Amino acid sequence: MRKRSIILSILFICLIVPVAYFTVVGIEYAYVPPDSNVDTKESNSFKGIRQMTSDVQEEPDHEFIQTGRKLFYEETFGNEVFFTDVMGMFDGALTLPNVASAIIKLNGQGTDNLQVQAAKSVIIGDIKVNKGDLIDTGLDVPKGALIPLGVKVRYEEGKVRAGISCAVCHSSLDDQKEVVHGIPNADLNIGLLVALATNSASYFTHTEMKNIQDFITSTDRTVKSTEGEELALPDIQRLEKYVDQEVMKWPRGGNDTTIDLINNPVQTPDVFTLGDHPYGWSGQGQLGPFKGLSAIINNAHAQNMDAVSQMTISKEILGIDKELYVAILLQNAADKRYKYDPESGESPTDFLAKIDPTPNADGVLELIESPSYPKVSFLSSVGLFASSDGYRAWEQLNSMSAFMNSLKPPKTAINNDDKILLDGKSVFNRAGCIKCHAGQYLTNNQLMSPKEIGTESSRARALNNTEKFFSSPGGLYDPETPVPLPEKPIIRELTLTAEQEKQLKRSWGHNGSDGAYKVPSLVGLFWSAPYLHDGGVAVGQNLNEEIGVNETLYKGKKADPINSLLALIDSELRQKVVKENVKNQKLKTAHVSGEGHEFWVDHTTGFTEEEQQALIMYLLTVTDQNDGSKSK
């Protein structure tokens, strides 16, 4: 009881108490796991913290990696403003006081699914949440933590705000409720959390929207376009309802991360990134520091954490005038300071300029303009880089890349004898798996077309619209460039070979390409179920009943790595998985089926059930000989 009172007092101080001093200065808190021994010995396989081409050799030092570790868990680049003030994630049924109350009830024990009492009754999509109902957030709370993993709370200007860091998706807990660096939070209910926001419409670019005109019911509320034309605003409630329905389709652990107006969530990957280049599901991260890893991290922050950052590219990429775009995002903003009133007579961009906490670049995050700005490039899908004042350009992104490259998957609890592993390795070779998943990192680092992999192409070509407003990256800022940027920053030229440019255009779906999917590393496979880029190959512990996303993730049941991997290689079981998935209209319209990668290791290709199991055990435990990266 005393322990609970102490926790309550700390939370009250951190989240609620409005002290005059902190109203001006501000306080912030994010949980950073206890120090652990991350591996730095193999970091020289990557070409350095300031790598601009693959020719530069410089090994990240321990201090730089530890800086990246800290930033990985607590750096939000100020997205508290978007998620709290614009989107209103904590203004609806989910509130910060109720989150704090739910953590208090844990009595320090931790959980991999924080259940929060609904603060009020709401209808989202086709679901009604009654006041007092428990909301399955999928948020992880480590043992002894005062806040969910990857969530940062900031108190300033008399208000409590919350934002998220890399760790909310890319670290999770073991059975003892302790942090395991780099494994995906496979049951994080991102779609539900967005839908519960009061202005989820601000995330409309991540939906299957055909035309914004479909949501205009009146011409009473208008804004002037950049060319002076009167444009009607969409109906607030109608758009909100539609976006809620769309994001609620995302399976747990899935998130739409592109702005192509196609609802195609991807399964959250692990971040055991060393040797797993090119990065991203289509291999779009190939250029710049750490073989493109820093560019992928940048995309996650600069694009996905702030829809406002897309304001300058909205006309060319989305076909929506900049003024209308900003008005749509802000017309129902949660905080009245950010709420745009079309009757004010003020243009949406002028209104935003007055309240923008980061006026030096588009968006409300801590961003800087890239050398290609306002156009996008292979380095940034929005023409912006995430970077905070007081750092050097790319310093934060590069340090997080160094940390991710230092991670190794922890040991599994699977006990195998040497014969099973040898048999499994033999099957791996004989079945031809080694053709694509070869070498130390179990990948050939190549790209495959959707036809080769046998799956739909919505994710493979998700970036093809960027070609409409695209520029060669030209170069990167000199590594010593301070932020804020000087008036004339030094730019170091980036040169591409003809082959590099060809592969980048494939992965971005340019030049009429149907896009590509990268061959992923199989390192840490035990921790990354369900499988495939859409997360559609999902089977629970009950092999007879928990088949497909509808019977697992949609019902709050985790995908079992052994059974899900069996479904990946067994034609009959996969057929059942796909059949169950396509029966659900929500999954169908979110492009989640579990189809593709039909490289069977079963009776149809001459393998026995015993050989199947040997292969599965080998794949799930192949990295067990390495020390894990679990926090202690």
Q: What is the Rg, in whole angstroms, of the alpha carbon atoms belonging to the chain?
A: 24
530: cis peptide before it, omega within 30°? yes
One-letter amino acid for residue 64 of the chain = F
Would you say 365 and 385 are in contact if contact means Cβ atoms under 8 Å apart?
A: no
Sign of the torsion formed by the C-alpha atoms of 193, 197, 201 and 205: negative
Closest C-alpha to 102, from 111, 93, 92, 89: 111
- CA gap 239, 236 in Å, rounded: 5
One-letter amino acid for residue 509 of the chain = G
Provide the pLDDT confidence category of residue 47 given band limits of 50, 70 and 90: very low
- Measured CA distances, 352 to 180, 197, 218, 560 (Å): 40, 21, 24, 47
Average pLDDT, integer, range 250-278? 95
CA 260 to chain centre: 16
Closest C-alpha to 266, from 87, 45, 463, 425: 463
Closest C-alpha to 258, from 294, 298, 299, 295: 299
**Average pLDDT of every residue of the chain:** 91
Q: Per-residue pLDDT for 105 more than 70? A: yes
| pLDDT at residue 498, rounded to an integer | 93
484: cis peptide before it, omega within 30°? yes
Provide the pLDDT confidence category of residue 58 given band limits of 50, 70 and 90: low
To which residue do tokens 């905080």 refer?
335
Average pLDDT, integer, range 454-468? 93
For the entire predicted model, the pTM comes to 0.92
- CA gap 354, 319 in Å, rounded: 26
Q: What is the DSSP string of 513-559?
A: ----EE----TTGGGS-SBSTT--B-B-S-TTT-BSGGGTGGGT-PP
Question: Which residues touch 105 (CB under 8 Å, ≥6 apart)?
Answer: none
| CA atoms in the 13 A half-sphere facing the CB of 611 | 17
Would you say 412 and 526 are in contact if contact means Cβ atoms under 8 Å apart?
A: yes
Closest C-alpha to 532, from 547, 519, 544, 545: 519
In percent, the amount of the chain with pLDDT more than 90 equals 85
Q: What are the tokens at 181?
A: 């660096």
Q: Per-residue pLDDT for 46 more than 70? A: no
One-letter amino acid for residue 347 of the chain = S
Would you say 144 and 4 are in contact if contact means Cβ atoms under 8 Å apart?
A: no
